[in-house]
Structure 1
């Protein structure tokens, strides 16, 4: 099966015949109809680990973005943040479904999203930090979308055609996410004295967590180039990228992930066999 064919299959709409949790509505298997066999020579364990980590980053980021519903500074931006979150949820679904195909467990996407504890998640720390100031959420989205976009652009050439197709679909979405965040960063950084101050604080707050991103996937050149361009346009100073706070071990978590997952997973865990 060609990559183009896989991509077209992924892009097709899903009917509602196979009801399950699937983030709140009925969906069939997101990889339904796609040849999910693992090509010869591909390390199944490494493939599953890659998809799981990327899925966790997307799911946790989407949950944080959802918290801006009814709280964003403008209605239009509330809608934009919700749509960005939905894009990330879609990426998480596809990635979790692929994990279930290759890790030998046969688990569904819901099992990965709702029935794992915080210690089992592999998302980066920056994704799980509280939203805080709107400026921090803008900076975080700018950083994570730039980093994820660079990663997905590389993965479009992955040996696994399913992962390559997921990445190709995600590149277009992530390019928009990065653009939205960059425009807001410039708007705030080059705005009032107060908005400039808050953006500078946000930049400084996110900077220490970049080293973890680069330890997981080295996109330093691409991410730093984007941040430099945005900071120069916005009149902001780009803080030094320091060591990761607390520990140099990647994929560790802060105290903030467990409460986030408790809220995300509460309904599914209370009614584990329910569908709608």
Structure 2
């Protein structure tokens, strides 16, 4: 008889977490996979499905499901947390993951640079909010993923016309960001991954500039414009920055993206992503598989939860 799982993995995308599940199975760690799009819960049931819950809910799930579970997950995790579950990347992390406006505010509060950004909740306010910003700019949805809901406008007239025609992006929470478009040095952005508040690795993603979808995982690559992915080293100051951002965001696992502004050489952070499904072909790109370190961390959390129960 297999031991009862002490770990539940809540996820939505059917392909993204196969590498994680493979490592858990190879290392003999019992786990319960929970597809959130097929899930419901009873408010009278106080027992969580496992002592440790690992949240892998994707902000891009609204692209695949009209009845997505982004907001449902927050109610679910609150219920389980009240019942004593230890939730990795739970509601404190989701509060940041579900809002690019909160992400920019958090990064600014830590003293790090971001693109100049303004926030609105009505489409008709976009042109007024854009005044004083440098064009080109982008309008972004507050809850996005895989580059969805990001549109570039090259002039105030172009943006004003799009507003009049009703063609600007729409966020599922009715919050939009107006943000200066940053010309990046060498058309390159950097994604740094952290685990337990510590820097794990970084990759450079270079594109032809025609896509905002820079998801580096295997399942993201099908049908997208060519992206060159290479391992990159970070200086000590940038490592300190990404670690500080991940801890302030309450994300035990996250990817933090930044670019170098070719106009002035400044480093500008623009995204905090709580769903780290890691780089495609990690052995080829990195020389090692970060899923091993992730499962090491899960084992540590499981041991701590077990010790807490014994106490």
Instruction: Name the TM tier (shorter chain).
Output: under 0.3
- Quick one: higher RCO (CA 8 Å, sep 6+), 1 or 2? 1
Q: Which one has the largest radius of gyration?
A: 2
Bigger proportion of residues as helix: 1
Q: Which has the higher strand share?
A: 2
Question: TM-score when scaled to structure 2?
Answer: 0.24
